[in-house]
Structure formats: structure tokens, C-alpha cells
Structure 1
Amino acid sequence: MKVQCPHCLSKARITSRNEITTTVADLYCQCMNTQACGASFVMTLGFSRYLNPPLTSTQRLAAHIIGSLTKAQRQELLQGDLFH
């Protein structure tokens, strides 16, 4: 993971990390441009969204949808006739 100094835009390194929650962490960083900047700062790293949901979520959703179908609709689905 690359981190950039918010002041001089030079590369920065992560010196430590503090987990706030399972999806949010504070990253303690130090600018590598020690001649002109040398800033130390904290960036927050956080989960935003899934691009592809976890398999367990997809399976749960599919099971719920299939469970709400009638027996005839389930049979059609298994035969592949439902979407034709």
C-alpha cells in the first residue's frame, strides 16, 4: 500500500497501525522527504464496499430467494425454463 504525504505529496511510510474497529484503522505515517518536509501524520483507512460479496452472503441470499418460490417455480428453475 502506498501512502503519500498530504503536505508535500512525497512518499511516506507507515510506521504503525491502530485498529479502531474491524473495518477502520489509523495509520501512523512519516514523510520520506526528510530534507524539505519530514512531517508525521495519521491517515484513516476504512472499508468502503464490496465489489463482489462474500460467498456466504450470496449463498444465504440465494437460499432465501429459492425458499420463497413455489414448488412449480423451483422445478422451472432447475429445468432452466424460468428465464426463457
Structure 2
Amino acid sequence: MDPEILRAAAAAITIIGATMVAANLNARITVCGFAIFTVASIAWIADGVLEGKTSLVVQNVVLLLINVLGVWRWLPRAGKEAGAI
């Protein structure tokens, strides 16, 4: 994959995830934002590996773990909201 395309996609995905989490409209949107952030972290890790950028890889491995924690914490709330509708 072309690194420029990978970086552009990772940046766009990061912006979408950040917007969804920051909006905090409801738990379902927030959990989706964290899930999208997880995809973005994986894309940034791939870019870091391809480009030999250790700091980018380390940073996004940590962010990946944080995002997985976010999904894990918000998923039950999203389920409760879905059941309440």
C-alpha cells in the first residue's frame, strides 16, 4: 500500500473517531468512536512499521490499548441504551 494513502486514511479515520468521542451524543456513538479510533491506531501502527518510525508504533500501541479499553467500558452502556429504546 502507498504510505501516503495509508497516512491520509489514518488521519481521516482519526478525525472521525475523535469527533464521535468528543461529541458524546450517546453511548452508541461514543463506543463507535472508540472502535473507529482502534482502526486508526492499527493504520498508524502499520505506517510506523512500514516507515521505520518506532515512536509512532509505540504511541499507537498504547493508544490501541486505550481505545480497546474505551470500547470495553462504553459497550455495556450502549447496550443499555439500545434496550431502552
Tell me, yes or no, whether TM beats 0.5: no
Q: Which has the higher contact order (CA 8 A, sep 6+)?
A: 2
Q: If each structure's strand is expressed as a fraction of its own residues, which one has the higher value? A: 1
Taking structure 1 as the reference length, the TM-score comes to 0.25
Q: If each structure's helix is expressed as a fraction of its own residues, which one has the higher value? A: 2
Taking structure 2 as the reference length, the TM-score comes to 0.25
Greater Rg over alpha carbons, structure: 1
